[in-house]
Chains A and B, each alone.
Chain A
Amino acid sequence: MTQDRTEMSEDDDDNSQSPPLDLRSAAIADHCSSSSSSTPNKSRNCMALNSQTFPDHVLENVLENVLQFLDSRCDRNAASLVCKSWWRVEALTRSEVFIGNCYALSPTRLTQRFKRVKSLLLKGKPRFADFNLMPPDWGANFAPWVSTMAKAYPWLEKVDLKRMFVTDDDLALLADSFPGFKELILVCCEGFGTSGIAIVANKCRKLKVLDLIESEVTDDEVDWISCFPEGVTSLESLAFDCVEAPINFEALEGLVGRSPFLKKLRLNRLVSLEELHRLLLGAPQLTSLGTGSFSHDNAPQSEQEPDYAAAFRACKSVVCLSGFRDLMPEYLPSILPVCSNLTSLNFSYANISPDMFKPIIHNCHRLQVFWALDSICDEGLQAVAATCKELRELRIFPFDPREESEGPVSELGLQAISEGCRNLESILYFCQRMTNAAVIAMSENCPELTVFRLCIMGRHRPDHVTGKPMDEGFGAIVKNCKKLTRLAISGLLTDQAFRYMGEHGKLIRTLSVAFAGDSDMALRHVLEGCPRLQKLEIRDSPFGDVALRCGMHRYYNMRFVWMSACPLSKGCCKDVARAMPNLVVEVIGSDDDDDNRDYVETLYMYRSLDGPRNDVPKFVTIL
């Protein structure tokens, strides 16, 4: 088993890196927890010279004061491996813990090692669960974590969850157990409703951040906005754009009025333009705004219309704009006063045509992050390229997300962006037509790319001009973009594309493959050639047992491997499980699966310090 402790997987929202929860350090953990905590044996102290002049506990105090300044978890993990003394002190001083896979360890292991945690970042389901590739009730329950932490970390301040199953009871326990609780961030979570949110709003009196992002929140018909306590709040960020439930607007207006520190406000689809207008007049200090529906209530237009542009003009600090959930395009020009300040603009819920779009984007010179629907067309992308010279991140989503849809953006838009936005670091691009030439151009024009995700929606589509596979395009990306850490491929791809990836993709940490490749060799190239690979998600590709075996030297150093609709046999998966005892090998099927069937529909495997989980649903078999 090789120890690769340097760089680790990173989601697009992670800023720091995390080495694996090292299995050897786990052994150290076990050893330390059983040894006495008073005077350690001098012979085990690595600072042999100094031990003659200073007692160990003094050295540890010094160390504690120094390690306090270490923030990056990569650095902290490295420090913890120096020796037992450093391990112990690091464990005492780590206040923010990141756990990339909630099943990699048990909550008890967390609380036994780290004693003073104030902030937890926890991720659950693998990303392909977002696309209905995994049955509901698979797991990733927050419950055991919150109940364990309730006893161990009464001083907990922040919880940031992604793709976890969180119940109202969990939220109630959280609100009850942590009197100093400040930040709750739930991204792509589900299992709770407005009643759980109401409890958090009501009981967490020091709450600064309540961010519900892309989560499924059931409408329990609770007026949760009214549950915030009276008086001035500490709220700095309130995001509820994903909550599909009407809110008490008067209560919201009152809440905003007594939240002087509020900087981020993301409204949901059920807040109208008139209501937005009233809020803006009362909160000109906002820096980040989610505009809600951006359309009228069903009221006639004959009365005096509010001056929306004036309201936006008053918001001099807004740099991040999103929402537009049900945009009435004739009102879009109201945002013009803030355009020149914007660094982030999200139009990805608004069906905006090029003609509506161009006058707006023309003013957004400072834009760094831009999300939109492909309704802006290649023409709109050309306008972005002409104006947004500082663009770092671009995401173009399909208005009509079907394989056979028209596809208003193409290689023309991609080419234009590559020529105009030379500082581009991250791109997600859905389209129906693409050429190798455009992808190659991007690889040459945008050397700063770290994330390249291209989704040609029609499966197995070749370069629509030359008819050739998209191998050369993706090959150029891995060759020329020397900083590339995340790659998602699509279109017609042969094993050659994977050969390029294995040869050049030395920094790739996340790889997404769908309907690609010809044979086991393709996957083998990647498993043998990409030493930093952490997260591998593959669907509907012809990779089987031979390929799976090629990665055995890597799996302990990866966060997870997902393979669905690939020709894998149960026998081979069992072999892998047997050979690698610290790897949890889950085979996910449906209820009517024949247990004796050899074919594996979905394989999801990940390393774990605490063995198989104890909450396995009946459609999951752990080999």
Chain B
Amino acid sequence: MAYEKVNELNLKETELCLGLPGRKEEVKEEQDVSCVRSNNKRQFEETRDEEESKPPTKTQIVGWPPVRSYRKNNSVSYVKVSMDGAPYLRKIDLKTYKNYPELLKALENMFKFTIGEYCEREGYKGSGFVPTYEDKDGDWMLVGDVPWDMFSSSCKRLRIMKGSEASALDSSSL
């Protein structure tokens, strides 16, 4: 039995489903998995299988290890954000955002640019800027593919790619 506070784990959010990040979509068929998703590491596939076969509560033990929640919150919140071409880095607290739209808006304000539209298959189109992040394993991923909670707990730093490098990512994903 879990007595989680409002801003902690929202199991519904970590449920994998296809569609735009931050919105609640109906689950689509397996075949619709985008190329971007299939480029993800094996680990991610395994995780998804596990989550689809077991209810999430089975793998969570409430209150274990016995570390108070304020300690957990404080250990991984600030991440560095770099933008290609900008002279210095910024830092943001991922905890202050609840979903992708909020985060992307904050990034847009911070660096004074516009991110294109996200779509499952092709990533971000329209502006030449692509938000990426480095996860716990050191791999660079596209922002928006995984559910928000999974992203915010595994994101170590952000990099907004620009120009030629960004379009290379787009074309390689197709």
Contact = CB atoms under 8 A, between A and B. Distances in A.
A355 B132 CA distance: 29
A598 interface: no
A133 B65 contact: no
A470 B69 CA distance: 28
Contacts of A313: none
Contact of B75 (A133, A298, A373, A455): A373
Nearest to A512: B66
B62 interface: yes
B64 A514 contact: yes
A326 B78 contact: yes
B108 interface: no
| Residue from B3, B68, B91 whose CB has the most chain A CB atoms within 10 Å | B3
A397 B67 contact: yes
B74 A133 contact: no
A110 B144 CA distance: 58
B155 to A, nearest CB: 14
Contact of A298 (B5, B64, B91): B91
Contacts of A130: 66, 68
Given A590-B1, A601-B1, A132 B74 contact: no
Contacts of B87: 300
B27 interface: no
A455 B64 CA distance: 10
Interface in B63-107: 63-72, 74-75, 78, 87-88, 90-91
A457 interface: yes
A599 B87 CA distance: 63
A188 B68 CA distance: 10
By size class, the interface of chain A is 35 or more
Contacts of A128: 63, 66
B69 A132 contact: yes
Interface string B52-69: 000000000111111111
Contacts of B90: 298
A408 B24 CA distance: 38
A214 B65 contact: no
A398 B63 contact: no
A134 B67 CA distance: 15
B61 A459 contact: yes
Nearest to A490: B65
Q: How would you classify the secondary structure of chain A's contact residues: helix, strand, loop or mixed? A: loop
A131 B71 contact: no
A399 interface: yes
Contacts of B165: none
Interface string A295-326: 10010110000000000000000000000011
B2 interface: yes
A98 to B, nearest CB: 23
Contacts of A301: 88
A398 B65 contact: yes
Given A131-B62, A298-B90, A300-B88, A349 B67 contact: no
Interface in B103-153: none
B104 to A, nearest CB: 18
B63 A133 contact: yes
Given A300-B87, A349-B74, A399-B75, A133 B67 contact: no
A348 interface: yes
A300 B86 CA distance: 12
Nearest to B69: A132
B98 to A, nearest CB: 16
Nearest to B136: A400
Contacts of A133: 3, 62-63
B157 to A, nearest CB: 13
Interface string A120-153: 0000000010111111100000000000000000
A216 B70 CA distance: 9
A403 interface: yes
A325 B87 CA distance: 26
B50 interface: no
Contacts of B72: 401
A130 B65 CA distance: 12
A351 B74 CA distance: 10
B4 interface: yes
A430 interface: yes
A269 B5 CA distance: 22
A397 B4 CA distance: 21
B161 to A, nearest CB: 21
A401 B71 CA distance: 9
A556 B103 CA distance: 55
A242 B70 CA distance: 9
Contacts of B71: 348-349, 397, 401
A132 B62 contact: yes
A132 B88 CA distance: 40
B66 A131 contact: yes
| Residue from A188, A216, A401 whose CB has the most chain B CB atoms within 10 Å | A401
Interface string A340-382: 0000000011010000000000000000000001000000000
Interface string B143-174: 00000000000000000000000000000000
Nearest to A188: B68
| Residue from B64, B69, B90, B91 whose CB has the most chain A CB atoms within 10 Å | B64
Contacts of A136: 3, 5
B3 A403 contact: no
A136 B7 CA distance: 14
B65 A455 contact: yes
Contacts of B4: 132
A400 B75 contact: yes
A1 B81 CA distance: 65
Contacts of B74: 269, 325, 349
A325 B70 CA distance: 12
A31 B50 CA distance: 66
Contacts of A131: 62-64, 66-68
Contacts of A135: 3
Contacts of B91: 295, 298
A107 B42 CA distance: 61
Interface string B1-29: 11111000000000000000000000000
A214 B78 CA distance: 20
Interface string A220-240: 000000000000000000000
A-B residue pairs, 8 tightest by C-beta: A131-B63, A401-B67, A457-B65, A135-B3, A133-B63, A132-B63, A131-B66, A132-B3
Given A132-B69, A214-B70, A298-B90, 8 more contacts: A131-B63, A131-B68, A136-B3, A300-B87, A325-B74, A349-B74, A397-B67, A402-B65
18 contacts: A131-B66, A131-B68, A134-B3, A136-B3, A214-B68, A214-B70, A216-B70, A269-B74, A295-B91, A300-B87, A300-B88, A326-B78, A349-B71, A397-B71, A399-B75, A430-B67, A455-B66, A514-B66
